[in-house]
Amino acid sequence: MRSAGLLIAAALGAVLLSCGSVSNGEFDYVTATASADPAKNPLFADLATWTGTPCAAGSTYTVFSDIVTFSVVSKVNVSNANSSPLVLKGATLSYSPADVLTPALPKAYSPTYQALNGYIVPAGNTLPVPVEVAPHSLKNFLGASLVCTASNSIYSYTVTIIFDAEEQVSGRSGTFTSGITVRFADFADK
């Protein structure tokens, strides 16, 4: 009798854990499973767009943010009229050095949060969602070490993006994860 009780408790625990479980960066909401993939990987984030000869006297450069479009996918779990759209709230980006030559970033740059209000992924569909993975402020910070220096370095970061969303009908909130490698350098100098 005791072993039957343990078996029932284990089965109930497995059922409870399966709803909302995360695997391969996905999250199971009540009626859909969400995931995201970047349009390109890796991203080569040029730190400087030059006017004139790079690093020459009198030359100037401009810094632009890099945005990558992620395909956010909602796969319907329950095929019925109550399948629910997902409302994206935001994304948290964390940057980790991808090699031993790349320095860790100060806390001001990792993790960072971007609001994604207004993006609604229809049930059973894919929605392109732009995420600023190489923001202007971060490129300016890294540019001090990489633009017109003798180092010729390329800093490479593994960026983990955690999307925060809510299923519209059920109100269930959860997160799903994607990632991208971003390589920062003044590529005109290379």
pLDDT tens digits, 31-54: 888 889 998 899 999 999 888 888
Q: Which residues contact 13 (CB under 8 A, 6 or more apart)?
A: none
Pair 181, 133: CB distance under 8 Å: no
Q: Is the pTM of this model over 0.85?
A: no
How far does the chain reach from its first CA to its final CA, in angstroms? 72
Q: Which CATH class is domain 21-185?
A: mainly beta
Phi, psi of 139 (to 5 degrees): -65, -40
The model's pLDDT over 129-155, given as tens digits with 9 standing for 90+, comes to 999 999 999 999 999 889 988 777 899
**Tokens matching residue 63:** 């810094």
Q: pLDDT band at residue 24, thresholds of 50, 70 and 90?
A: low
Residue 19: closest CA among 163, 124, 172, 121: 172
Average pLDDT of the chain, as a whole number? 84
Domain ranges of the chain: 21-185
